[in-house]
Amino acid sequence: MKTSIRAGLALFAFLVLGSSLAFGAPPGPTGAALGEAKLYSSASANAKSVATLSAGDSFRVLETGAREETVAGRKGRWLRISTPEGIQGWLHGGWAVVSTAYLKLADFPDPTSYGRYIAWAFQKGERVRASQEFELVARGDLGWFHSMDDGDPPILVVWDKDLDATPWVEALPKDFPRILSGRVYFVYPDALEPVGEKTSADFANLAEKWRTSASYETLFPIGSRVILGEHAVVVKGDPDSKNWGEEMADFVGLEAIVTGHEEQDPYGRPILTVDIDDGQFYWRAENLELLERGTGEVSDSGGEDYGDGDYSYEDYDEADYALEEAFPVGSLVILGKHLQLDPGDEESAYWAPEMDDYVGMEAYITEHAGLCPWGEPMALVDVDDGNFYWRLVDMELIEKGPGYWEGGEAYDDEYEGEYEAFGEDQAGMVGVGTKVVLGRHDERNGSDNWTEDMDPFVGKQATVTEIIGSDDQGFLVVAVKENTWSWRIRNLAVVGRGVPGSYGFQVGDRVVLGRHRFVDDNENWNPSMDAFVGMSARITELVGSKGDGSDCFLVRVDADKGKWVWRVESLTPVK
């Protein structure tokens, strides 16, 4: 698999990216300190010191003194500067390198300080060049700087050439046009230099040009995850030029995996097949939205990375459900090495060598993860940060868990008996005593129910004390112990469970399906879903809010074999 490697939050966690909004980029001189240097309140070494810069600390020059002065044996003009943190003062130019163009790696003592400079100075869309070879990127390759974060490597570049890359989806910013994924490769600061062009890239236009110029095999390799769209009439007055069957309407808006490339339909449009309709229909590539670029093949086993699969609950039997009930989420277990289930097939052990390091360790089950390719229930655990899938049958139970995972921390004692109560005290997996991360409300149904005084609490943890009910826009809100505001559940993240907006639900949870309501005049409902309302089901996939016109969080379940998407706000946990 060709990837754009992202190894986590290791090397560049020092970046303060929030300053980029207030701290623009050249034109205009910028500089870097040549060593430890004092910043003064005025252009004099006798003035009060307001800060001290370290070697490699970068800054913007706001004003340059009229004449040179010698200070401590160094000649230079005084510079009034501003740091990325917003500190202003006067620095003697003898302790700095200054340029009206972008600074280069050679102007800094190490790649780390150069990376700090890139974080605030480079503009989105800046033309860049690879200064050295890095994996699939060759020295001299040209591209466009998009963004920098705290990943490893940290810099996202869209290169001019197709690298056939499959970047980790979670590493791509939400607004990034994923049709460019094959040209994305992350690099380190010391592998990048600015070209100095005055024009910058508009990534939306870049994506549209790529969509119309690249082959659909390049844009949507086999294995790509896409959202299906309705075909349009291509010949005015000829409805057949839509190349559409009525049954295809049932699949519009659903996620699917590309399983095959065909040539063209009778109207010259490239077409392909997908998994969700068992390959019955031909779908036009121009009407697909790319979610995740495929590797060129469809895996029957859901992946071979022992931690990056797409597993289903369709093949569960009673013994599988019983095993999960014996090892509920939150259970303390001892990890064991998987047995080889098929004597003639070593792969049936479903084992990675790195898992050997954890055998015999105690661990907490954090999530049930479906069946392995050999039909055994699996789980994720805390000790390996969820990197590997572990078979329940090869575990030893020490202490049965409560059915949820809270990072090993119990609820506050004052709420401990109330969490089990559903109904008025429970919405999804959010109840009295639930620890949550507060999020900003989105504007829906005409209001965001928000005040600026709530801003300081965004991203902070809090404990739910009451489910208040619905606000004026119809969204459930809760009260928390840490402040006096009401917070929408749809914008919370439950600590240690699910993802932001999922009401704390995660794959494997059993729920009762409910009918969707109208939000922004949209209920995202198909009449065929009526037959499943009131059924018990198990969540098989967290889809997210993409594809729902009202940005409600969606999941797939086993009861309808994953055909429909269900809003979490309409689900009730099974006791």
Question: What pLDDT is attached to residue 271?
Answer: 96
Q: How confident is the model at residue 407 (pLDDT cuts 50, 70, 90)?
A: low
Instruction: Provide the pLDDT for residue 406.
Output: 64
Cα atoms in the 13 Å half-sphere on the side-chain side of 488: 23
> CA 323, 510, 534: angle at the middle one, nearest 5?
135
Q: Which two tokens stand for residue 213?
A: 């110029």
Helices (H), 80-202: 111-121
pLDDT of 410 above 70: no
Please tell me the predicted confidence (pLDDT) of residue 299.
53
451-462: per-residue pLDDT in tens? 999 999 988 888
Q: Is the pLDDT of residue 311 over 60?
A: no
Structure confidence at residue 519 (pLDDT):
86
Cβ neighbors of 272 (< 8 A, separation 6 or more) are 216, 220, 258, 259, 260, 261, 262, 282, 283, 285
**E strand map for 8-103:** 30-33, 37-40, 49-53, 58-71, 74-82, 88-92, 96-99
Q: Tell me if 251 sits within 8 A of 257, measured CB to CB.
A: no
Q: Determine how β-strand 142-148 pairs with β-strand 225-228.
A: unpaired
- What's the chain's average pLDDT? 84
- Mean pLDDT (whole number) for 414-440: 67
Indicate if the pLDDT at residue 414 is higher than 50. no
Contact yes or no for 131/190 (Cβ under 8 A): yes
Residue range 352-356: mean pLDDT, rounded: 88
Rg (CA), the chain: 28
Query: What is d(CA 93, CA 379) in angstroms, rounded to the nearest whole number?
Result: 59
Ranges of H-type helices in 12-165:
111-121
Dump strand ranges (E) for 293-341: 332-334
Enter the DSSP assignment of 392.
G
What are 389's two structure tokens?
């899938």
Terminal Cα distance for the chain, rounded: 42
pLDDT at 39 over 70: yes
- pLDDT band at 32; cut points 50, 70, 90: very high
Which structure tokens are listed for 381?
């655990």
Nearest to 69 by CA among 40, 102, 35, 26: 40
Domain 215-292 fold is SH3 type barrels. (2.30.30)
Q: Which residues contact 471 (CB under 8 A, 6 or more apart)?
A: 449, 477, 486, 488
Place of tokens 């996202």: 156
Give the confidence band of 224 by pLDDT, cuts at 50, 70, 90: very high
- CATH no. of 318-399: 2.30.30
**Class of domain 27-100 as given by CATH:** mainly beta
What CA–CA distance (Å, rounded) separates 65 from 346?
74
Longest dimension (CA), the chain: 85
What CA–CA distance (Å, rounded) separates 117 from 189?
9
Domains 27-100 and 318-399 share a fold: yes
Across 507-511, average pLDDT: 88
Q: What is the reported pLDDT for 94?
A: 92
Contact 556, 529 (CB under 8 A): no
b/e 166-185 (16+ beta carbons within 10 angstroms → b): bbbeebbeeebbbbbbbbbb
Cα–Cα distance for residue pair 37/35, rounded to 1 Å: 6
* Mean pLDDT value of segment 402-423: 45
Q: What is the pLDDT at residue 561?
A: 80
DSSP 8-state code for residue 326: H
**Lowest-confidence range among 151-160, 221-230, 371-380, 482-491?**
371-380
Question: Where are the chain's structural domains?
Answer: 27-100, 215-292, 318-399, 413-494, 510-573
Residue closest to 92 by CA, chosen among 120, 69, 125: 69
**Lowest mean per-residue pLDDT among 27-36, 104-113, 202-211, 477-486:** 27-36
